[in-house]
A = this chain, B = another copy of it.
Amino acid sequence: MALGTDYSGQDCSLAKALEVVGERWSLLLVRDAFLGVTRFSDFRRRLDISKAVLTQRLGSLVEAGVLERRTHGGHDAYVLTPTGEALWPAVHALMRWGDATTSARGPRRLFRHVPCDADLDVTGRCPVCGATPTAAQLETRPGPGAGTDPPANPLSARLREPHRLLTPLRD
């Protein structure tokens, strides 16, 4: 049992959620999956995580129904399931809190509701239509708080360019 997994005896929805996505690295894997990362080696390049732990985390996220593993022409792809996509509001809320507490120049990343061509507000709502869009309707791009360092690798460079969420960056 991984650290951060066992909150037995807690009749609490938050504890249940954290048993699945509360381990080290788990939510960052989900974040990258929203951004379009699908491959083992790409998660690795992004996160500087040990291969053994990455294997373990991807496996437990698949087992929990957050990710689905598809073998696809010689390599594997890990993609979010509907259950995984349902994590979007939580991921977005945590990102906005991270921005609010650690970024003086505003959000590091912006999310635009494509049908309305408007950026989400801090609550995750589209200011034009008032809805709370799902990730599939969003496009992301760097915000005013984004770092100015050059990307660590070509993959991170591609993820920095404006692109639709949930669309795989390969194949």
Contacts and interface: CB of A to CB of B under 8 A. Distances in A.
B101 A16 contact: yes
B147 A102 contact: no
B97 A86 contact: yes
A24 B2 CA distance: 11
Contact of A97 (B9, B47, B90, B130): B90
A95 interface: yes
Contact of A11 (B15, B20, B48, B146): B146
A118 interface: no
A113 B48 CA distance: 43
Nearest to A30: B14
A59 interface: no
B18 A97 contact: no
B94 A14 contact: yes
Contact of A28 (B11, B14, B152): B14
Interface string A17-28: 110111110011
Contacts of A132: 123, 125
A18 B27 contact: yes
Nearest to A149: B11
A84 to B, nearest CB: 10
Given A9-B48, A31-B12, A17 B83 contact: no
Interface of A: 3-4, 7, 9-18, 20-24, 27-28, 31, 47-48, 65, 83, 86-87, 89-103, 107-109, 123-125, 130, 132, 145-147, 149, 152
